[in-house]
């Protein structure tokens, strides 16, 4: 389970002579087991907020807690452990390892976690089948389409059933059928295992699955509402 508290988060970026407020005093509580979508135009702060919660970037000011632990105060070692064992990441750019096969990419995190080889292989093959890549286990990223690479990235993120999944535009390169299958898989993990999902998206198909929808603009939250998934 993952309960997230963000208090007065601020992050500025320098762009030429201008200062861009990527996060402008953002405060938000996310209950454990949430299925939440962040929406908004490019530059609204969605990805920056995901990166901050995941400890991938440093705040200028503010506080982030996950299950009562201050993420913003963790050193590099404890922060790496948190990401390794409790957070799954789905990046828009996939971030797959080019020399590894799909199966090996999915197994990689489990290998670092110390999961035995036989168990790693079974879990990797099971999750690749779940995301529709059965028969493609031994292909390297260059031998897969963009959508297939994204599904490998998703499989890698969720194979260990982390308590929190942070996903940045997870359906950006998927067709409608694949996107629906992926979102149903996310929903099943959310309802069955209580995995908390925080998804940044432009995709209306994804937003329909959300139990909570937050709209951002210019680094601020401009709307925050509960909804019935459809």
For residue range 144-190, what is the model confidence (pLDDT) as tens digits?
988 888 889 888 988 888 889 999 988 887 888 888 888 888 898 88
Region 80-96: what's the mean pLDDT? 86
Confidence bin at 1 (pLDDT 50/70/90)? low
Number of Cβ within 10 Å of residue 97's Cβ equals 12
Tell me the C-alpha distance between 161 and 89, whole Å: 12
pLDDT in tens, 54-72: 998 899 999 999 988 899 9
For 4-226, CATH number out of 1.10.10.60, 3.40.50.300, 3.90.1150.10, 3.30.420.130 equals: 3.40.50.300
Q: Closest Cα partner for 133 from 119, 148, 147, 115?
A: 148
pLDDT in tens, 36-50: 999 998 889 999 999
Q: Which long-range contacts (CB under 8 A, 24 or more apart) does 223-227 make?
A: 224/28
For all residues of the chain together, what is the average pLDDT? 90
pLDDT at 121: 95
Distance, CA of 57 to CA of 73 (rounded, Å): 12
Please give the DSSP secondary-structure letter assigned to residue 70. Answer: E
């Amino acid at each position: 389970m993952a309960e997230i508290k963000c208090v007065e988060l601020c992050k500025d970026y320098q762009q030429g002579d201008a200062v861009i407020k990527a996060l402008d005093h953002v405060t938000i509580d996310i209950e454990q087991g949430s299925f939440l979508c962040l929406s908004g135009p490019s530059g609204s702060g969605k990805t920056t907020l995901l990166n901050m919660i995941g400890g991938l970037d440093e705040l200028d000011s503010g506080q982030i807690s996950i299950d009562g632990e201050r993420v913003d105060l963790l050193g590099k070692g404890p922060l790496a452990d948190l990401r390794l064992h409790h957070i799954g990441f789905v990046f828009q750019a996939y971030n797959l390892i080019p020399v590894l096969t799909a199966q090996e990419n999915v197994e990689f995190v489990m290998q670092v976690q110390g999961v035995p080889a036989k168990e790693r292989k079974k879990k990797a093959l099971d999750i690749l089948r779940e995301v529709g890549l059965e028969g493609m286990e031994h292909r390297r990223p260059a031998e897969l389409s963009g959508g297939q690479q994204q599904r490998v990235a998703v499989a890698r993120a969720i194979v260990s059933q982390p308590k929190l999944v942070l996903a940045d535009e997870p359906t950006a390169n998927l067709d409608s059928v694949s996107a629906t299958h992926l979102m149903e898989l996310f929903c099943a993990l959310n309802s069955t295992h209580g995995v908390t999902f925080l998804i940044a998206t432009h995709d209306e198909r994804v937003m329909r699955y959300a139990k909570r929808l937050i709209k951002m603009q210019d680094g601020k939250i401009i709307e925050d509402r509960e909804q019935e998934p459809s």
